[in-house]
Structure 1
Amino acid sequence: MSENTPETKRELVIVGVDNAAFTPLLEILEERKTVLPQQLRLLEEEDSEVEQQVFANRNITVQDLGQFAFGPEQVVVLLKGGDAGRAALAAAESAGAWVVDASDNSRGDESVAVVNPLLNAGEIAAAERHVVALPAAGAAMVAEALLPLRDRLQAVEVQLNQPVSALGKAAVDSMAAQTARMFNGQEAEVDPAVGHRLAFNQLSSSEALLESGHNLSELALVHDLRRLLGEDIAVDACINTASVFHGQLANLRVVLKEEADLDQLRGLLRNGTGLKLAERPSAAEAVGSDITFVGRLRQSLLSPRQVNFCAVSDNLRKDLAINCVQIVQLLLKNH
Structure 2
Amino acid sequence: MGYRVAVVGATGAVGRELLRILAERHFPVSEVAALASARSVGQEISYGDKKVLKIQNLETFDFEGWDIALFSPGASVSAIHAPRAAAAGCIVIDNTSQFRMEPDVPLVVPEVNANALKKMKRRIVANPNCSTAQMVVALKPLHDLFTIRRIVVSTYQAVSGAGKDGMDELFAQSKGSFVGDPPTIAQFTKQIAFNVIPHIDRFLPDGSTKEEWKMAVETRKILDPDIKVAATCVRVPVFIGHSESINIECEEKIDLARAREALREAEGVILRDERDDGGYVTPIECVGEDATYVSRLRIDDTVENGLALWCVSDNLRKGAALNAVQIAEALVALDLVRPGR
Q: Normalising by structure 1, report the TM-score.
A: 0.91
- 1:169–1:71 distance in 2 versus 1, CA, 3 Å: same
Instruction: Give, as a single letter, the amino acid of the residue that structure 2 aligns with 1:167.
Output: A
Other-structure match for 1:271: 265
Instruction: Name the SS for the 2:130 alignment partner.
Output: coil
Q: Is 1:204 matched up with 2:232?
A: no
CA distance in 2, matches of 1:140, 1:154: 18
Other-structure match for 1:173: 168
CA distance in 2, matches of 1:237, 1:257: 20
Q: 5+ residue gaps in structure 1?
A: none
Other-structure match for 2:229: 235
Deviation at 1:213, TM superposition (A): 1.2
Could you list the per-position Cα deviations for residues 92-117 of structure 1 after superposition, in whole angstroms to 9, with x for gaps in the alignment? 12222110011212143222110111
- 1:139–1:204 distance in 2 versus 1, CA, 3 Å: same
Q: Is 1:287 matched up with 2:267?
A: no
CA distance in 1, matches of 2:323, 2:222: 14
Instruction: Give, as a single letter, the amino acid of the residue that structure 1 aligns with 2:205.
Output: E
Other-structure match for 2:252: 258
Q: Does structure 2 retain, via aligned residues, the 8 Å contact 1:143–1:229?
A: yes
Could you list the per-position Cα deviations for residues 11-51 of structure 1 after superposition, in whole angstroms to 9, with x for gaps in the alignment? 11111023221232222111122144x61001111124772
Q: Is 1:307 matched up with 2:284?
A: no
1:52 aligned to which of 44, 48, 62: 44
Other-structure match for 2:35: 43
CA distance in 2, matches of 1:83, 1:231: 27
Instruction: Give, as a single letter, the amino acid of the residue that structure 1 aligns with 2:281.
Output: P
Q: Does structure 1 retain, via aligned residues, the 8 Å contact 2:272–2:281?
A: yes
Segment of structure 1 superposing worse, 127-136 or 294-303: 294-303
CA distance in 2, matches of 1:175, 1:18: 20
Q: Does structure 2 retain, via aligned residues, the 8 Å contact 1:114–1:133?
A: yes
Q: Does structure 1 retain, via aligned residues, the 8 Å contact 2:106–2:116?
A: yes
Segment of structure 1 superposing worse, 180-189 or 211-220: 180-189
Other-structure match for 2:210: 216
Q: Does structure 2 retain, via aligned residues, the 8 Å contact 1:137–1:217?
A: no
Q: Does structure 2 retain, via aligned residues, the 8 Å contact 1:100–1:134?
A: yes
- 1:209–1:121 distance in 2 versus 1, CA, 3 Å: same
Instruction: Give, as a single letter, the amino acid of the residue that structure 2 aligns with 1:237.
Output: A
Q: How do residues 1-335 of structure 1 correspond to structure 2 at under 5 angstroms?
A: 5=1, 7=2, 10-36=3-29, 39-48=31-40, 51-56=43-48, 57-151=50-144, 152=146, 153-191=148-186, 193-279=187-273, 280-331=280-331, 334=335, 335=337
CA distance in 2, matches of 1:332, 1:61: 27
Deviation at 1:316, TM superposition (A): 1.0
What is the root-mean-square deviation in Å for CA atoms of aligned residues? 1.9
- 1:199–1:276 distance in 2 versus 1, CA, 3 Å: same
- Moved segments of 4+, more than 6 Å: none
Give aligned-pair identity as a percent. 29
Instruction: Give, as a single letter, the amino acid of the residue that structure 2 aligns with 1:140.
Output: A
Q: 5+ residue gaps in structure 2?
A: 274-279
Deviation at 1:312, TM superposition (A): 0.8
CA distance in 2, matches of 1:40, 1:201: 41
Q: Does structure 1 retain, via aligned residues, the 8 Å contact 2:41–2:57?
A: no
Could you list the per-position Cα deviations for residues 32-78 of structure 1 after superposition, in whole angstroms to 9, with x for gaps in the alignment? 22144x61001111124772112231221101111211115331111
Count of aligned pairs between the two proteins? 326
Q: Normalising by structure 2, report the TM-score.
A: 0.90
